[in-house]
């Protein structure tokens, strides 16, 4: 099927783009009263960073750079929260699904250097520093124990929202001997400060959340909730010299956050107005308007009709070189300079057009 395209790009105003047509940076800056700001981004490093991840990372640096232009004395940096607890291998034993994390299988090392390479490039080209935090470091914060304790207290209400299918609290701890964990918390029990987990090989083991929060692993909705509340507590903590906000893909915007973040946070007794701001990065869509999915590409060989540079970092680097990240940076800089462009998504053909035009105008570079 071939349909002619007129190559024209329209940005009709509506919703967020109407309110934040010309400025979003001052709106965001006004939410913070400390002079040190951290912009958090995240990923599960289980494959080469896909194109959507590259745009999220690039957008974070674009926003930081623009904030520095508007407020030159601000101390601003990027924080890459690495979801190294994401599943790497899964096994089913007696109908229960067990997983080993990226960290425990070591598979994180297959791709992690690509993430660092991207962050280093963006750091140098934008003069904005970054740091990296793994899940155990995130969980070591003093805020985590009271949050998890509260979630366990309100478990019956919370599970109906965060896991409507099984109504299980998806917090898990890996077995200290074989690092397997009960993926869906089917056999896991919660009793005040204790998490009682079960390994099919090594039996029961108990975790005390008061002293061992660093061992906790969450599924995405639980992690999203815990992270937002922890950031909120940090932002309002007079003993912390920095505040933190988040940039994530806009597939989490709207219904997801309203139902799975803001309402549960309120049920837990955390004031919603103190949660951190989240800026949503436009999605990269395929021809039908679906999000370009990393797992479809990895598992099922989707998008074989597209040039590899539009799929992931490996393809981009092979075909165009690391320098091509600056084309994505130009695109996300433009979104921040014209924030009405943030409140919509873009098809992969839009990026192809931008790459073609950039390369035509910078022909000497290639
Ligand atoms: Zn075990």
- DSSP-derived letter for residue 261 is I
Stated as kind and residue range, the H or E segment containing 103 is helix 102-105
CA 355 to ligand 1 center in whole angstroms:
49
CA 139 to ligand 1 center in whole angstroms:
22
How many residues are present in the chain? 366
Which pLDDT value is given to residue 364? Answer: 52
Which pLDDT value is given to residue 302? Answer: 76
CA 125 to ligand 1 center in whole angstroms:
46
**Fold for the domain defined by 16-90+101-158+222-365:** Rossmann fold (3.40.50)
CA 206 to ligand 1 center in whole angstroms:
12
For 153, other C-beta atoms within 10 Å of its C-beta total 14
CA 204 to ligand 1 center in whole angstroms:
9
CA 181 to ligand 1 center in whole angstroms:
8
Which pLDDT value is given to residue 4? Answer: 85
CA 173 to ligand 1 center in whole angstroms:
11
CA 194 to ligand 1 center in whole angstroms:
18
CA 51 to ligand 1 center in whole angstroms:
37
Residue 119 and residue 80 in contact, taking contact as beta carbons nearer than 8 Å: yes
SS3 label, residue 90: strand
CA 113 to ligand 1 center in whole angstroms:
30
Q: How far apart are the first and last CA of the chain?
A: 32
CA 154 to ligand 1 center in whole angstroms:
29
In the block, tokens 């990240």 appear at 325
Which pLDDT value is given to residue 298? Answer: 63
Residues 6+ apart with CB under 8 A from 83: 42, 43, 44, 45, 102, 135, 223
Q: By C-alpha distance, which of 67, 49, 46, 48 is closest to 57?
A: 49
Q: Where are the domains of the chain?
A: 16-90+101-158+222-365
Q: For residues 79 and 81, what is the distance between their CA atoms, to the nearest angstrom? A: 6
- DSSP alpha helix (H) spans, 274-339: 294-300, 313-320, 325-337
CA 94 to ligand 1 center in whole angstroms:
15
CA 93 to ligand 1 center in whole angstroms:
12
**Residues with pLDDT less than 50, the chain:** 366
Neighbours of ion ligand 1 (CB under 5 A): 175, 177-178, 199, 201-202
């Amino acid at each position: 099927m071939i349909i002619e395209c007129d190559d024209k790009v329209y940005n009709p105003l509506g919703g967020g783009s109407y309110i934040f047509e010309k400025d979003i940076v001052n709106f965001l800056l006004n939410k913070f009263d400390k002079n040190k700001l951290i912009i958090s981004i995240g990923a599960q490093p289980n494959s080469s960073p896909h194109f959507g991840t590259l745009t999220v990372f690039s957008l974070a640096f674009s926003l930081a750079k623009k904030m520095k232009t508007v407020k030159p004395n601000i101390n601003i940096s990027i924080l890459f929260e690495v979801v190294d607890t994401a599943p790497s291998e899964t096994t089913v034993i007696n109908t229960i699904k067990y997983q080993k994390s990226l960290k425990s299988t070591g598979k994180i090392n297959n791709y992690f250097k690509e993430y660092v390479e991207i962050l280093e490039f963006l750091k140098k080209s934008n003069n904005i520093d970054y740091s990296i935090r793994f899940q155990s470091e995130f969980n070591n914060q003093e805020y985590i124990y009271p949050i998890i304790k509260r979630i366990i207290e309100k478990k019956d209400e919370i599970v109906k929202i965060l896991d409507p299918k099984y109504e299980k609290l998806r917090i898990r701890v890996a077995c200290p001997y074989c690092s397997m964990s009960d993926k869906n918390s089917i056999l896991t029990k919660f009793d005040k400060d204790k998490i009682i987990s079960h390994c099919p090989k090594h039996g029961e083991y108990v975790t005390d959340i008061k002293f061992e929060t660093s061992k906790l692993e969450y599924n995405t909705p639980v992690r999203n909730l815990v992270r937002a509340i922890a950031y909120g507590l940090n932002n309002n903590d007079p003993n912390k010299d920095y505040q933190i906000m988040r940039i994530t893909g806009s597939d989490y915007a709207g219904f997801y956050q309203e139902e799975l973040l803001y309402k549960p946070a309120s049920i837990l007794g955390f004031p919603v107005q103190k949660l951190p701001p989240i800026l949503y990065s436009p999605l990269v869509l395929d021809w039908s308007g679906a999000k370009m999915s990393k797992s479809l590409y990895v598992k099922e060989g989707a998008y074989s009709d597209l040039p590899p540079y539009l799929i992931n970092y490996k393809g981009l680097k092979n075909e165009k070189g690391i320098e091509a990240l600056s084309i994505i940076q130009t695109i996300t800089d433009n979104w921040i300079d014209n924030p009405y462009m943030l409140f919509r998504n873009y098809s992969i053909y839009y990026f192809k057009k931008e790459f073609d035009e950039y390369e035509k105008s910078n022909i000497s570079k290639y």
